[in-house]
Structure 1
């Protein structure tokens, strides 16, 4: 996780003059256009140089042979390509006919169906059945995985054997997946969905009364759904793992994150309302998928098809598997999409504490008491890291606020993987997600704070087929330093407040003048017909056996597979094909960069100007919730507690003098050496976390008093010997610094075994 500092714009800051603002926007636009032109020229030149380097002298016979094999291969690849597209269409039709079940790579069974709840929703809880050879440990906490309902169907968290589901199963954890059905229950709201997911969490807790509460994993929009559940029912939610989840929707950087401008350029939420009304009161998830495809036209209109065409002998299986999930379009109620757009996409109310799930009842993210792991990627242009992390600084303006609230937040940043790769990449599952699962066994023993997580390769595993070994390094960060991801210290978010106000005006006008007419004229049946004709669906059913031109392709494709002729990859014609493909991609990328630059310039020219005219809301004072009470309670218990409290305090005092890095391998070593003796493992995870939070607050704010009052917690000679024995064991096996070893000597002097029990506070009176 990058170390950044979030500085909110001050309401009293003088806005720039309109002329200075427009001049600055014009200069940025000029730079963007120049960069787009230069990027296109560079890509074209690189393709030309690669083509020229591949040329070599050949005889006429060799040239003729190269041309013959290439064009024979080209014809066969074309036939196999269209056969694969036909199979994609047939798969789509079969998936639709089957009711679009979740595309999980594991067997599963439904254990609870929210369609029968008092507040029904089209959600269900499915238990993953462990595959052969995988044993589930009844003592390990269960996992509950929430996939995004953002146009596609459920299953992305368990799409492959190497996945979030797979690594949790391999570690011996029971795994549940929150799935949903293609059509919403009439009248359901996001509040109904959140309540259903909270009920699922309680059910899992009842089914698995383990030491730790269930881990909740949320992917993309399932991430903010997991946060809502954690806020609604903090007593049953265990650690939250939030993967690629947009939480601060206004955040991002210019030239990197074009999707954040869409709401403003469309005038706010009214297009979503119109789409719902045209759908007969139902919003089509295909619109959301279309927005994703809009981001990268080079891949949408050329790259995906060309990759299949150029690798037609190996790519179809992967292509067809992914397209089954990508082409499964699910629906939402009108009120659901309106809540999402108003409160999240445009309103950005969640982190600000203004997102209501019922009248007067808000989702308070500060109520979450479980540790939170945030996983984002610098290569993600759908949920950029700013959207994944900035809410932390919105909720906790300072590190002191975060620690005083007893919260543990761990940030993990990938350098390059794209948005979907966070969930479906096998290499990410084996490296990052597997280490997250490993860390979660220890995360409740971390003192409150903000940590950056890094996965390091430490060597190769032992045995045939063993992969690399990894270790996790946690480095303590400061909330005040959360700045490096920002170009403009978040001043570029100011115009989005104007977007919110314009959206509210446009939505009110739409509801008053357009909605009554459209909803009266468009019946639900017409909406179903429009959905069937949506371009994303049409390009699937039109390229299937329903199309007579493709229905007879299969036998010819089989003949081509049986008599494949492969081109010479080093030949002239293959090199020319690669050059042409690179040129087409460069042209599409140039179009994308110019389009995004124009859209961004229009956005800021419009809303940055409006933000100088429209009233700006007063900045709310940073809420501290119950933080002072938590700190006051901890300090009032300075001399209270037992052996476990003393052991935890002593370890924290030692750790305080060390480096700001903590290693998972060190946690494992400490547990191996003294885990049972300290006593945390005999308690519930929530009780262990409470002890760590309380002792961490004492050590953080009063280290000298914490040290001096340690004898009050271990009053007998036996307890003192036990504690000193633990400290000696750890000191002899762990790499400690000079200051830490000197502190161990002070423990020996302070905790010299007493001959008899020492009443609480007795050592203070004697000292007086």
Structure 2
């Protein structure tokens, strides 16, 4: 009967809208079941592998963390460039660290348009830090951080000729681990890119992002300890995936499956590719997960410098010396912009404090993309990640401060399009802490509520450990824990559609017959239109349920943890206007800063033409309040046009720019007054140097009034009158190279 229905011909009885729709719907159902069967087979295949991953590239194992003195289930691999991709040994390598948040490794490079793909396209060697499904018994988060330090040391040793330390990308949960390591070993890092990474876990906006209330509503982290004990010392990552899916029931319960069913002829391969990663559930040691929940999710201690290593070393994000690029989205309900950015407000009182510590922080906020799209979307890879990879050296040499990265389409309106490497123009505009506050955040009363939840969590966890944990551990066996893991609802959803299910034995053959006799329905079929309308109604209903649940969760959290008696009992002072968790100031840093200022003041009169040009460039650029990739590309091309030994390396150029920037900040009048003494006596050499300076400035577009006035001031310092300087110089490559030789 099934075969007969699948092979119907275009007879009159089947030409009416109902039968046409019914035939198409039945065939879609068969093909849908076949995709579910293939998904189950794919799940079993991945589970049978010792080191499963979803990388779309050939990988060469370089180091297995299980061989370390403190073994971990992490490994470092080199991504083998595909045919046609040329790697430039002078460019810094990229290291992508994958998130261990319940899924398997490989998401940073599971297709060509990915973080790894765009980095290799830009000529960078790529490495990948992944993990095995099972943790090494006894491994801790600190062990993993130490292992990643050794991985980076190995990458650096392989690229001694590269122009800069590795760029490290941390996706989601990998981001906070990368930041912790960078605070402990700042010498290992070039620019750091953290994508969709929560660092300030209490932050958010009233009426949005309810996931941050989960820990308090569940009574704290005692449930994490119970889950680890029921797993015989292992925490099942499938629960983390389940928590993620619970945030969007409309997608989890309906739209993901419906989109596959309604687009079954074109959607199958994309769906299976994603599910190959989504269903690769892994486990963590119970101690690892307890640290994450207690110290980060509920404790919110990382942003406030309240986490220490086993040796007592404080993990202070203010110790990071590499540029930090933060990529987040307003459409991300897992890591909203507040959780990605508000750690800056926790650590610093002003942008001047960021500058005084020599830190460079750049952020970019996407308007709509969801959490996974930040590091899996092909569109994001071709835009944001492509621009980050192409302009990583610009990011590295930016003067200290806070910036927002703005991406604009490249078009005919863009001046000097020949200096743009991709389809977008990236510029970094100076920002203040008020720009981050403008995104929204907690009131002081909200901070007190979260502090109360953290205190109650500690109490409940202690009670569980004293009164219940010994009995739970005694009752659980490794075999029973494994059986519970296999019976997790998410795993069962894959197992029940696997080829081992005898009830699905007929599906493969029937699906092949359907594909041979496929009859699709027209888009204007009234029954298909009704189907789409019903789907939208279901989505609206599930979304309405989500909104009601979120409002109820938020209201419950605010009422319970906002109660004055509970806060008083937990030691929270409701009248205090100081945030309960605020990073303390380091007095040693103040002393070191004073010493550094004195050393820089002594250098105001030191240097030559190169220092004078750099100081003049920064002075004019500060009036613009932004840095543009076209200006940096102009500098790069000018540097490359000269083969002399005096050419600065990127590290030397970065040191020069930062030193002259700080000199201007410390004493601008004295710094400007010293410029004539740094310049050569010959007026022609000064004129050539000035023309080179203006060429770099003009590459980013015409100067506005304030910047133009500053350029005139520089012309006076160069002893050049306004009439003697051509406003639109045309410079040949030969003369450009000659000028570089004179500067070098």
Instruction: Work out whether the TM-score is over 0.5.
Output: yes
Looking at structure 2, the residues matched to 108 and 452 of structure 1 have their Cα atoms a distance apart, in angstroms, of: 34
Residues 341-398 of structure 1: CA distance to partner in whole angstroms, max 9, x if unpaired?
A: 1110000101100112224222121111000110001100011110001011111221
Cα distance in structure 2, aligned partners of 1:668 and 1:172:
16
What is residue 663 of structure 1 aligned with on the other side?
Answer: 628
- Structure 2 equivalent of residue 180 of structure 1: 131
1:259-408 matches, within 5 Å, as 259-408=211-360
Deviations 1:67-87 (A, max 9, x none): 011111111111111111111
- 2:539 aligned counterpart, secondary structure: helix
Q: SS of 2:260's equivalent?
A: helix
Q: Does 1:427 align with 2:395?
A: no
- Contact 2:304/2:582 (<8 A) preserved: no
Query: Which residue does the alignment assign to 2:660?
Result: 695
Q: Hey, what does 2:554 align to over in structure 1? A: 600
Q: 1:695 Cα deviation (Å)?
A: 1.6
Q: Report deviation, 1:322.
A: 0.6
Judging changes above 3 Å, is the alpha-carbon distance between structure 1 residues 232 and 621 closer, same or farther for their aligned structure 2 residues? closer
Partner of 1:133: 84
Q: Corresponding residue for 1:80?
A: 31
2:107 to 156, 162, 166: 156
CA contact (8 A) 1:79 1:557 kept: yes
1:626 is aligned to 2:593: no
Q: 1:587 to 1:729 in 2, by over 3 A?
A: closer
Which range moves more in the overlay, 218-227 or 607-616? 607-616
Q: 1:646 aligns with which of 607, 612, 617?
A: 612
Matches of 2:587 and 2:445, distance apart in 1: 24
What is the distance in 2 between the residues matched to 1:399 and 1:449? 6
Q: 1:454 to 1:732 in 2, by over 3 A?
A: closer
Alignment of structure 1 residues 198-209 onto 2, 5 Å: 198-209=149-160
- Please give the alpha-carbon distance, in whole angstroms, between the structure 1 residues aligned to 2:19 and 2:646: 71
- Cα deviation for residue 715 of structure 1 reads 6.4
SS of residue matched to 1:456: strand
Confirm or deny that 1:221 pairs with 2:173.
yes
Picking from 692, 714, 734, the partner of 1:726 is 692
Whole-angstrom distance in 2 between the partners of 1:612 and 1:484: 31
Cα 1:701/1:540, change in 2 over 3 Å: same
CA contact (8 A) 1:100 1:328 kept: no
| Equivalent residues in 2 for 1:253-264, closer than 5 Å | 253-264=205-216
Match of 2:498 among 524, 534, 544: 544
Are 1:111 and 1:126, in contact at CA under 8 Å, matched by a contact in 2?
yes
Task: Answer 1 or 2: higher relative contact order, Cα 8 Å, separation at least 6.
Answer: 1
8 Å contact 2:203–2:442 — kept in the other structure? no
Spell out the pairing of 1:28-43 with structure 2 (5 A cutoff).
none
Between the aligned partners of 2:527 and 2:235, the Cα distance in structure 1 is: 47
**2:347 and 2:583 in contact (8 A); partners too:** no
Matches within 5 A, 1:729-748: 729-730=695-696, 735-748=702-715
SS in 2 for 1:357: coil
Asked if the contact 2:194–2:327 (Cα under 8 Å) also holds between the matched residues in 1, the reply is: yes
CA spacing shift, 1:674–1:176, aligned 2, 3 Å: closer
Q: Distance in 2 between matches of 1:345 and 1:455?
A: 32
Matched, 1:614 2:562: no
Give SS of 2:624's match: coil
Gaps of 5+ in 2: 1-11, 415-419, 573-579, 721-744
Aligned to 1:637: 603
How far residue 677 of structure 1 moved from its aligned partner, in angstroms, is 7.6
May I ask how many residue pairs the two structures share in their alignment?
688
**Cα pair distance change 1:488/1:182, threshold 3 Å:** closer
- The unaligned stretches of length 5 or more in structure 1 are 1-60, 754-768
Alignment of structure 1 residues 416-565 onto 2, 5 Å: 416-459=368-411, 469-486=423-440, 488-489=442-443, 491-565=445-519
Determine which of 573, 586, 600 is the counterpart of 2:527.
Answer: 573
Distance 1:62 1:435, change over 3 A: farther
Rounded to whole Å, the distance in 2 between the matches of 1:117 and 1:636 is: 47
Q: Aligned to 1:218, what secondary structure does the other structure show?
A: strand
Call closer, same or farther: CA 1:523–1:323 in 2, change over 3 Å.
same
- Structure 2 distance, partners of 1:193, 1:315, is 38
Q: Once the 2 structures are TM-superposed, how far is the Cα of residue 690 of structure 1 from its aligned partner?
A: 3.0
Q: Quote the offset at 1:514 in angstroms.
A: 1.5
Distance in 2 (CA, whole Å) between partners of 1:660 and 1:678 is 32
Moved more, 169-178 or 434-443: 434-443
User: In 2, Cα distance between the equivalents of 1:166 and 1:97?
Assistant: 27
Contact 1:261 1:600 in 2 (8 A): yes
Taking the TM superposition and a 5 Å limit, the aligned residue runs for 1:37-56 are none
Kindly indicate whether the alpha-carbon contact (under 8 Å) linking 2:85 and 2:120 is maintained by their aligned counterparts in 1.
yes
- CA–CA distance in structure 1, aligned partners of residues 698 and 374 of structure 2: 40
Q: Secondary structure at the match of 2:344?
A: helix
Secondary structure at the counterpart of residue 416 of structure 1? coil
Q: Tell me, what secondary structure is at the counterpart of 2:16?
A: helix
Distance 1:505 1:686, change over 3 A: farther
Q: Name the CA distance, whole Å, in 2 between partners of 1:358 and 1:652.
A: 43
Deviations 1:66-123 (A, max 9, x none): 0011111111111111111111111101111123511101111110111101111110
- In the alignment, is the contact (CA less than 8 A) between 2:338 and 2:441 conserved in 1? no
Residues 641 and 713, structure 1, Cα contact 8 Å, conserved in 2: yes
**1:587 maps to what in 2?**
541
Measured after TM superposition, the shift of residue 231 of structure 1 is 1.2
Matches of 1:199 and 1:676, distance apart in 2: 37
Distance across 1 between alignment mates of 2:477 and 2:526 = 58
The answer as to whether partners of 2:390 and 2:421 remain within 8 angstroms in 1 is no
TM-score (norm 2): 0.88
Matched, 1:99 2:43: no
Specify the SS of the correspondent of 1:454. strand
Which moved further from structure 2: 305-314 or 567-576?
567-576
Maintained 8 Å contact 2:631/2:697: no
CA contact (8 A) 2:346 2:583 kept: no
Task: Tell me the distance in 2 between the aligned counterparts of 1:195 and 1:704.
Answer: 46
SS of equivalent residue, structure 2 residue 327: strand
> C-alpha distance in 2, partners of 1:96/1:136?
34
Q: Distance in 1 between matches of 2:275 and 2:306?
A: 38
Q: Indicate conservation of the 8 Å contact 2:191/2:323, yes or no.
A: yes
Q: SS of the residue aligned with 1:301?
A: helix
Counterparts of 2:30 and 2:547, CA distance in 1: 34
